[in-house]
Amino acid sequence: DVKVTQSSRYLVKRTGEKVFLECVQDMDHENMFWYRQDPGLGLRLIYFSYDVKMKEKGDIPEGYSVSREKKERFSLILESASTNQTSMYLCASSQPPGQGAVYTFGSGTRLTVV
């Protein structure tokens, strides 16, 4: 069964902490994505990566960075966590269009910053 695995289901961090959210996929997908989901705002793209060491900003990259050192792993980093980053974070992967661009999501990480 193909999977996208997010390292934590629930996470509580303090304001100012550096936070790492990890995502691993076992489907050899080229593309990986980080979204956040907030009530009333839907899913918004933070960053995505279409190859190892390649990244592009999404719609709301401020306060976040990412790392993709290996094809299967895509990390989201909150450099200095703030309360307005309390949210549900969703990782996804896909192949490029033309190779079957179906998204597969992880189960999400619900982050609370106190």
Partner 1 sequence: GIQVEQSPPDLILQEGANSTLRCNFSDSVNNLQWFHQNPWGQLINLFYIPSGTKQNGRLSATTVATERYSLLYISSSQTTDSGVYFCAAPPRRGFQKLVFGTGTRLLVSP
Applying CB under 8 A, the residues found at the interface with partner 1 are 31, 33, 35, 37, 42-43, 45, 48, 50, 58, 88, 90, 92, 94, 96-97, 100-105, 107-108, 110
Question: Of 101 and 114, which has the nearer Cβ to partner 1?
Answer: 101
Question: Of 31 and 85, which has the nearer Cβ to partner 1?
Answer: 31
Nearest-5° Cα angle at 32, 9 to 64: 70
How far apart (Å, rounded) are the C-alpha atoms in residues 9 and 64?
A: 19
Question: Of 16 and 89, which has the nearer Cβ to partner 1?
Answer: 89
Question: Of 12 and 101, which has the nearer Cβ to partner 1?
Answer: 101
Please give the backbone phi and psi of residue 63, each rounded to the nearest 5 degrees, phi first: 90, 0
Nearest distance, CB of residue 45 and partner 1, angstroms: 6
CA 91 to chain CA centroid, nearest Å: 4
Nearest distance, CB of residue 30 and partner 1, angstroms: 8
Tell me which residue has tokens 């998204």: 103
In this structure, what token pair is assigned to residue 50? 């279409």
